[in-house]
Structure 1
């Protein structure tokens, strides 16, 4: 446990990725090694990758999603293990796993407060990790401070799932509240001027009533 705690507080240098030892020999790791320096470590626990921007990554594969709900317990352990780091959940959204994706979005973003990034394959996941490790953008689009970059369509899609909230109202809510956590904690009286009374009740209920 002590080794893992030290490792999770260590920031890899620019251009490096610390990968869980279980990824040795995988196609994803091979794709990474052609673009960044990969250091394998056996003591990362549930964390799959550590990045130089103080992010840690959990990869949820297509097979994880279709095999049952065990992956949700894994995500909770991941959230609890990455104190002080920005938790990213990279999930393979494919034709087979597409029907499970909406409930995963709600669980990861709204209930756990993590960033969820869908990819089409392990190869796309590797490309995403390379971009983060190399700091392609000066302003990391995956940070929690506001809704921007690649995170924007994910959060917009989630908020639009609330009954009575379309694209326009979702955008208005996200302009007013700078994070999902702020939106979750907003009382009905603060929501009403943006979306109206009925939709405000739906928004509050969406966050505070148990999901089906």
Structure 2
């Protein structure tokens, strides 16, 4: 099977999975808002910055990102699933950022356009993690930032899904650090706790 076909199948799988859950997504995880706000605060973006929320889903990061970058900044939310973006609009979060239905594997942005990328829950759904992270690096200026976030840690998430952590978990630090390094990023901090997973990285020159 060709890479193109695999990519199309992956896109369809993601769209079907999240499309079926979009309408009830925020109700299913009603307490995540403060965790998003705290993560954006630790991310360190500031007034005037140009930020992408990659795989933005229902847009839960858009409001704290807008608060961080202010009226002079740019917030762009990109997601592959149109129904997730519709849920974001229904929640009024399009007031905080421009929403775009697009694939993070092929972003319609010029090289070095952004100061930062925030990605909540994204990495587990990347079909080709190294090349996909490299695409995120492409659109960020040298020295720009990346945040890989989840509102609960790896162990808590595994327990939620009834499975155990394994050494090949992509988000384990020994796996993630070289993956980022090979994709144009340098990990600057790693936190995997019960109530959050937050990895910060800088765009290498």
TM normalised by structure 1 equals 0.34
User: Is the strand fraction higher in 1 or 2?
Assistant: 2
| Structure whose alpha-carbon radius of gyration is higher | 1
User: Is the helix fraction higher in 1 or 2?
Assistant: 1
TM normalised by structure 2 equals 0.35
